[in-house]
Homo-oligomer: A and B are copies of this chain.
Amino acid sequence: MSALPRTSPAGVMVIGAEPVIGTGEEIRSVDPRTGEALDPGYRAASVEHIERACALAKQAFTAFRATTAERRAGFLERIADLLDERRDSLVECAHTETALPRPRLTGEVGRTSGQLRLFAAELRAGTWQGARIDPARLNREPLPRADIRQRRIALGPVAVFGASNFPLAFSTAGGDTASALAAGCPVVVKAHQAHLGTAELVARTIAEAAADTGMPEGVFSQLVGGGTEVGARLVRDPRIRAVGFTGSREGGLAIAAMAADRPVPIPVYAEMSSINPVLLLPAALESRGAGLGAAFAGSLTLGAGQFCTNPGLVLAIEGPGLDTFTRAAADAVAADAGATMLTTGIADHYAAAGDALAARDGVDEFARGSRPDSAACGRARLLTVDGARFAADPALQAEVFGATSLLVRCADTAELTAAVETLEGQLTATVHADEADHPLAAKLLPLLEERAGRILFDGWPTGVEVGHAMVHGGPFPATTDPRSTSVGTLAIERFLRPVAYQDVPTALLPAEVRDENPLGVWRRLDGEPSRDALAVDSAD
């Protein structure tokens, strides 16, 4: 790996410790401003390459999951340090491939390294092990109770499919990779075709960090492939035990179907499709309609609208406040210069999906931004429909990935409530409410809880904080698995499973469930959370 230049991509995949040039068809990322194919070209992985990456991952698995939390934390921190060191070259490469602005990409490198460090801290915090001890009760009647202890272990090798819209934070070294590695799962990434160079630079960085910190070879690999064949083989490989995916509903559903159809089905965490409803309640509209309109347009057009949490749906009750909001939003969108989208494919899909939405019965366009001079141009767009029509037409909930939003004008709170009740699962639901709106908000809140992974008040859904309490997930079709999150420390649980140990001799017990608690982890002793050692003879 070290023979290659660190700052520019060389057209390689990473299989274990080795840079490898594929033998399949050549693919290239494309500059979305010009539509020109970029250097270097990447040849796709062969069946043997996939085979070798999976074999190495399996081979590494038992040793990797047995590394101490401290050692895995060191591995994650080494990746973070190297990414920060290489920030400028990563930003340049990603900027060329995605047209995302440099300051945004600079922030994204920091978010990516910060996320890796957060998982390192989580590993040291000693809660993820889920340790539980029910000590033996030898004198229990009618039967003695055995000594039973529980901890969580890694699921096995994980396949990760990164997202186009976050070439760093949701891609090769993104949240899925960070949480899987933290859990002790080797990772095989399928590089995103839209940012092959960035993916390569990051993959080589991870491989270097693995070598620097003495991780077993195979703990990380990255494969390249055009179309869906490499990914499909990866999902079907018997050694892969879970999948993380961020992308389209179509892609996520295809992967979930493949995973369910395996001889041994595996969990799929696909984050797919969300239109992120924003509810504007009457008093808030009345007191700050203009400000809300401008702020909404800002959230909508940020990054050409290419966020999973982009506000694609606004629900409000007719009235002067809504009129003020509408004018302000329309003015802001009309003044928007547009932006280059991530790929020409995304831009084409954006335009077509927006046209399809605009063509539905009862839908009117009320604002449109400018068209930038770009191969992959995205124009902001505002559409509107009334509440009754919205509740009656499920097609109005189709995600338009980009800066298009649909304003639903409801006649009254009953119509607003009915519209909310029809909503599919969402990553986020936002409420703008003044204090006078709180009684209405309290009625709507349970409906939103049942439909979204995150509920925000008086803010905008774009911008996902990486922390302990964040949920970036939600009911279908936001994800394929609402029991989890793809952002924040809770994500480590996706890649773990519990194991119980009954009357296992002390010398053979994992450290986290030994009496003396040598790792100092949090445990439930007979159900009670504690970091104490298990008192000798506490058992009756």
Using CB atoms and an 8 Å cutoff, list the residues of chain A in contact with chain B.
61-62, 66, 107, 121-122, 125, 127, 130, 132-134, 142-143, 145-146, 148-150, 153, 155-156, 256-257, 260, 264-265, 267, 425, 433, 435, 438, 441-442, 445-447, 449-450, 452-459, 463, 465, 467-471, 473, 475-477, 480-485, 489-490, 493, 496-505, 507-508, 522, 524, 526-529
**Chain B contacts for A425, CB-based, 8 A:** 264
| Bound-complex Cα distance A450 to B239 (A) | 12
B265 touches A476 (CB 8 A): yes
Q: State whether A499 and B148 are in contact (beta carbons under 8 Å apart), knowing that A267-B481, A508-B442, A527-B122 are contacts in the complex.
A: no
Shortest beta-carbon distance from A399 to chain B in Å = 16
In the bound complex, what is the Cα–Cα distance between A499 and B488 (angstroms)?
12
A-B contact pairs, 28 of them (CB 8 A): A132-B469, A134-B467, A145-B465, A148-B467, A150-B490, A155-B482, A256-B260, A260-B260, A435-B505, A438-B507, A453-B499, A453-B500, A454-B502, A455-B499, A456-B502, A457-B502, A457-B505, A458-B503, A465-B502, A468-B524, A468-B527, A471-B500, A473-B497, A483-B496, A484-B498, A485-B498, A522-B529, A529-B529
Choose one: B257, B459, B528; the contact of A502 (CB below 8 Å): B459
CA–CA, A66 and B441, complex, Å: 16
In the complex, what residue of chain B is closest to A430 when comparing beta carbons?
Answer: B502
Check A501–B455 contact: CB distance below 8 A.
yes
A527–B127 alpha-carbon span in the complex (Å): 9
Q: Which of B142, B441, B469, B502 contacts A455 (CB 8 A)?
A: B502
B260 to A465, Cβ gap below 8 A? Answer: no
Q: Find chain B residues with CB under 8 A from A155 CB.
A: 482-483
Question: What is the interface of chain A mostly: helix, strand, loop, or mixed?
Answer: mixed
**Quick check: B500 and A454 within 8 Å, CB to CB?**
yes
**B residues less than 8 Å from A438 (CB atoms):** 505, 507-508
Is the Cβ of B483 less than 8 Å from the Cβ of A497?
yes
Docked pose: A463 CA to B132 CA in angstroms: 19
Whether A483 contacts B453 by the Cβ 8 Å rule is no
Of the residues B146, B447, B473, contact of A498 by C-beta under 8 Å = B473
Closest residue on chain B to residue A522 by CB atoms: B529
| Closest A-B pairs by Cβ, 7 of them | A471-B500, A456-B502, A260-B260, A132-B469, A150-B469, A454-B500, A148-B469
Expressed in whole angstroms, the minimum distance between the Cβ of A259 and any Cβ of chain B is: 9
Contacting residues, chain B, for A476 (C-beta < 8 A):
264-265
Is A470 a contact partner of B508 (Cβ separation < 8 A)? no
Q: Are B524 and A127 in contact (CB under 8 A)?
A: yes
In whole angstroms, how far apart are the Cα atoms of A33 and B185 in the complex?
51
Cβ-defined contact, B256 with A508, below 8 A = no
List residues of chain B with CB within 8 A of the CB of A528: 125
Beyond the given A127-B524, A454-B499, A473-B497, please list 9 additional residue pairs across the A-B interface where CB-CB is below 8 A: A146-B456, A267-B481, A438-B508, A449-B499, A453-B497, A456-B502, A483-B498, A484-B498, A485-B500
Whole-angstrom distance from the CB of A90 to the nearest CB of chain B? 19
A489 proximity list for chain B (CB < 8 A)? 527
Residues of B within 8 A of A500 (CB): 453-455, 469-471, 485
Query: Are B449 and A483 closer than 8 Å at their CB atoms?
Result: no
Nearest Cβ distance between residue A426 and chain B, in whole angstroms? 11
CB < 8 Å neighbour of A449 from B133, B153, B496: B153
Measured in the bound complex, the distance between the Cα atoms of B145 and A496 in whole Å is 29
A508: chain B residues at CB < 8 Å are: 438, 441-442, 445, 457
A524 partner residues in chain B, CB cutoff 8 A? 127, 468-469
- Most chain B CB within a 10 A radius of its CB, from A445, A489, A504: A504
Interface contact A483-B267, CB-CB below 8 Å: yes
Q: Which residues of B have CB within 8 Å of A435?
A: 505
Q: Are B481 and A498 in contact (CB under 8 A)?
A: no
> CA A290 – CA B505 in complex, angstroms?
22
Q: How far is the CA of A496 from the CA of B256 in the complex (A)?
A: 21
Contacts of A445 in B (CB 8 A): 508
A148–B442 Cα gap in the complex (Å)?
18
Q: Which residues of B contact A153 (CB under 8 A)?
A: 449-450
Q: Which residues of the partner chain B approach A483 to less than 8 Å between Cβ atoms?
A: 155, 267, 493, 496-498
Interchain CB contact under 8 A, A456 and B503: yes
Closest B residue to A456 using CB positions:
B502
Q: Are A469 and B133 in contact, CB atoms less than 8 angstroms apart? A: yes
Cβ-closest chain B residue relative to A472: B500
Which residue of B has the minimal Cβ distance to A455? Answer: B501
